[in-house]
Each structure stands twice: as C-alpha cells, then as structure tokens.
Chain A
C-alpha cells in the first residue's frame, strides 16, 4: 500500500499541476494577509477560497488524476497486488498531494499570521473539504469509464454542492419562513459537505451570533463543542461513503 502511494505521489509531483496549485494557494494566502492589515478580514476572503476553489480544484484534479493513472492501475492490477490496495493507494496519493498543497500553500502562511482558534478551524476544514471532494471525485470517476463524462459529472457535483444547494436552501428559507422549518433546514445542511464545513467555521467564528439564536435547536445541537463534534463526524462520513461506494464499484469493474 505504501509503495503504491509512493509511486502515485511520484507521478503526481512529476505532472507539476500540484505544484502550481500549491503556489496559487500560497500567493493567495500571503497576498490576503499582506494587503490586509486586519487578519480577521483576510480570513473572510479565505473562507470563499475554502468553500469554492478548494472543492473545485480537489474534485477536478482528482478525477483527471484517476483517469490519467488508469494505465498505472492496469499495470498494477496484473501484478500480485490487491485491487482495493491499488484503489486506496491511488486515492491516498491524490488526497495526500492535495492536502499537502493546502497545508503548505495556505496552512503555513495562515498560522504565521493568525494562530487563533478560527485559523485552526480553517485549517482543519480545508483538509476535511479536500478529502471529501477527492472522495466524490473518485466516485464520479468510478461511475464512468469515459474521461469526459466522468469529469463532467465531477464538475456538476461541485456546482451542485457549492452553489445550487445553498441557493435551494435559501429559496426554501424564503418560501417557508413562516413555518417551523429550523430543524429541517439544519438537517438539510448536513447533506451538503460544503455546508458542513461552513458550519464548522460558523461555529468557530460566529459562535456569539449562533448562541444568540432563539430556539433550542441551535443552542443545544450547535453549542459550539457539540456542534463542532457532530459536524466533524458527519464530514468524516462524507469522506468515507463516496470512497467506500467508489471502491465497491471499482472492485467489480472489468478493466
């Protein structure tokens, strides 16, 4: 398994895309903190990168990586290696590369400028959302043998989770504002990984406002530590289930 990850990583680094991504994140993060004297304001800009750019890059990069490493996987599968090892190794390689890019590109500048709890939450959220979208990417890729189709599904799912889903929630919010839909709405946010990660940040950065909410749902369920724990756990479920499903499909796949 470690050997597979090693070769996957070697291959990823050789392609240089990942280095470009790291440099981009680094420039963006440094830039935000250098141009802005107030770290809390830079954090707000980082949130948008976190909720939009990182999922997009993670999902596209991983999908393309999967298709590009098809030859590698074929070669490996004819060797005495377990299928699940090849798949998990490929996933781990991509996930590791993207997480490292995020940690080096964003994490290091972030922690040097602002080591508050919010910065730590941002770092953890970034890693979570990267892993989640690599999982979703692998599921998209496992679903279709056709590279164009798979990448298409991946971009669509990003679009859905990052933009459409929240628009729908906002729409529901307006439409049913007079009904007691708080719990329902809260439950719906758990079905979108982007919302889930946003919730973790919200619990860290806007805990005072959240605690000011009337209604026991928010204060109990989201009472910072509890809410953080629940959101974190559900995020992990969001890493695991697409990966597990993709693995299942991959295991039964004819190469």
Chain B
C-alpha cells in the first residue's frame, strides 16, 4: 500500500476508482496503466484494437453497450495474472491463431477468484483459457467459433491444472472441444450448452472429483468424452444428436467410481461408449432413438446399469467379447417380449439386450444394410428363443414391464 501515489489513495480511501474508456487509440491500455488494484474500468461501446492487454492487478472491467475487443487475428487480447478480477460484458473477436502458444481471447495465468461473465466470443482460436488457476467462475458467456478441423482450431473454454472452477450457463459452439478439462479437480459444470464442436462438447482428461449437470451437448463429434479420470458425477444432462462414425453421446475411457444419473441420450450414433471403465453406476437415464444405446467393451468391470429406459434404439447393448461382471438390472427395454404373471412390474423371464445382429455387426459393420429384413428378423427371433451365440451371462433378470417415469 505504501507504493500507491498520494492522489490515488485520496480517492480510494472512500471508494474504488471508476475509469471510463471511450474508443481512441490505446484507450484501454492507458486506463489499465492508470488504474490501481480494485478499480473498475467501464469500457463504452466501440471497437478497440489494442493488441495484447495485460492485467497484473485486480480490476473489474465492465463493458457498456458491448464494446468489441478485436485481436485482428494476431494476438491474445487479454492476459490476466491478477486475482479477484472480473471481466464482464465485452465482445472478443478475431484472436490470433497459434498452436505453439495456444493463443486465446482471454487467458488466466495462475490466478484465483477471477470471474469471466456475460461476454461474447466470436471467431477466436481459444476463447477462455485458464492456466493453473483456482476458484474461478466462468458464467453466461456466449462463445462462437468456426472450426473446420481439429488441427486448426482451439477449445471454447479450456482449463489446465485448475481447482474449484465453476462453469455455468455458457453457450459454446464451433470449436475443437466446447469445454476442455485437463488436470482439473473439484469443479462444477452446470447448465451449459455445447454444440457443433468438431471433437467433443466436453472433454475431461486426468481430472478427478468433478461434476457436470443439466448441460446439453448436441451435434458434436462426440457429446462428452471423459478419460483417465475418477469420481465424476454426471447428472441431468442431455446428450443428443451426436452422430457420425465414432460419434458418442458419452465416451468413457478408463473412468472409475463415477455416476451417470438421470441423463437423456437421444439420437446419438452411440449413447454411451465404455472402455476400460469400472465401478460406474448408470441409473435413471433415458436412452431413446440411439443407434446403439450402450456399447460396453469387455474390459469394463463391475458397472451397474440399473433402472434406465431403453426405447426405440436400433440396438440396445453391444459388446466386443465374452461378457464380464457388469450388472444390468431392472431396466425398461422396449424390445422385451416377456410376460409378468405375478404383476410385480418385473418380467418373469430375463432379457438379453445384446442381439444376435448387434454381435454380427461387431465383426461386419456394414451388415447394418440388411437390418430389419425379414430374414434377419427370423434369425434374431430364433436366437431370442434359444440363445446360442449371444453372451449367456449378459442379461437383465428383472426387466421392467413399464417405462420408468424419468
């Protein structure tokens, strides 16, 4: 505090300074330079082309009338290394593109308690990039990109080595990954919309103890990819319209001790794809109109798929080898043709969710072209009556007679 000049101390002793910025060359840079920690800078509408701006002390920067910060395809516009900083109501366009130093519209360097709120991002490489930061909030941002391929595009919201982040109410589209987590722990992702991204709507790598809920992921290469992580809670999300070869609603790779509760998987090529994943509870989800509702590889163990609805999927479950110790229990399968004599709403004969043809297609994928033909229907019927090829120990022994109200 002793370094603060007298005239600034004079004002801030009552309240923080408010600095108003109008469009003129280097107006924002000047304002930042003139500001002291805790000040508020209000940027009025207009277009600002000021190259890279660095924020080294805590500030509140507010846009009035959505001022535009233009990176002119050259630079990272905002580099923040101060704690307790808020960026709100700005529009960031045209950041530079560089794969070597991951240029972004806003990048946070080892900060705490930074809030990025209600901003717009259009045509940037990375948009909001958090490095080694703690307790930051990213909320209400509208992020739009025009990614063509994975190599030449960045992520919408990118977190690396962060803790306690909250990502809420954002809309992200047209990037490589909508939201990307790597070495991120104890964070929450809520009520975001992530769509039309080239790779994943949401991507976890080596990120434990996180939760994401009530988000919608659609039209992405794959909805959500969760890899090499544990203790992830996935609740109330909608994964839909993620279609294409290798397109999944949810891709799980080497995930353990996680919960997938009350989500909707609709119109995806594959609803959930599980590989090397253990001790996951999949419960209360709706799988509707997917190509494959669940594809669970034989290296998955001790997973519980219980009390879900499976309706109008081309195939309910497929697997690539002899079954393992996964439990299917008390799910509603619309393809179930059994009966319920004691009227306890659980079918009296088990349901085998892996169909003969799904197995055949593991070996010959383009056999799909003959699906639903009379001959194939007959074969499937025969296999249902007397299973010979489909896995013996993969069954739901209490298939629900009526769909769960989810």
Contacts and interface: CB of A to CB of B under 8 A. Distances in A.
Interface string A203-246: 00111111111110011000000000000000000000000000
A215 B372 contact: no
A214 B269 contact: no
A239 B269 CA distance: 33
A166 B334 contact: no
Interface string B372-397: 11111100000000000000000000
B363 to A, nearest CB: 7
Contact of A211 (B244, B363, B373, B374): B244
Interface in A10-64: 37-38, 40-41, 44, 47-48, 51-52
Contacts of B14: none
Interface residues of B, number: 36
16 contacts: A38-B311, A40-B312, A47-B372, A166-B370, A173-B366, A177-B364, A182-B369, A198-B373, A199-B369, A202-B368, A202-B369, A206-B371, A207-B267, A211-B291, A212-B269, A219-B244
Given A170-B376, A215-B366, 11 more contacts: A40-B312, A44-B335, A173-B367, A182-B366, A189-B370, A207-B267, A208-B289, A209-B314, A211-B244, A212-B243, A218-B366
A100 interface: no
A167 B311 CA distance: 28
B334 A40 contact: yes
Contacts of A215: 245, 365-366
B374 A219 contact: no
Interface residues of B, dominant DSSP: loop
A198 B312 CA distance: 17
A208 B375 contact: no
- The number of chain A residues touching the other chain, given as a range, is 35 or more
B375 A170 contact: yes
Contacts of B366: 173, 182, 185, 213, 215, 218
A47 B371 CA distance: 12
Interface string A80-107: 0000000000000000000000000000
Contacts of B218: none
Nearest to A210: B368
B268 interface: yes
A212 B374 CA distance: 23
Contacts of A207: 243, 267
A206 B364 CA distance: 17
Interface string B325-358: 0000000001100000000000000000000000
A206 B377 contact: no
B244 A212 contact: yes
B194 to A, nearest CB: 19
Nearest to B267: A208
Interface in B273-320: 289-292, 311-312, 314-315
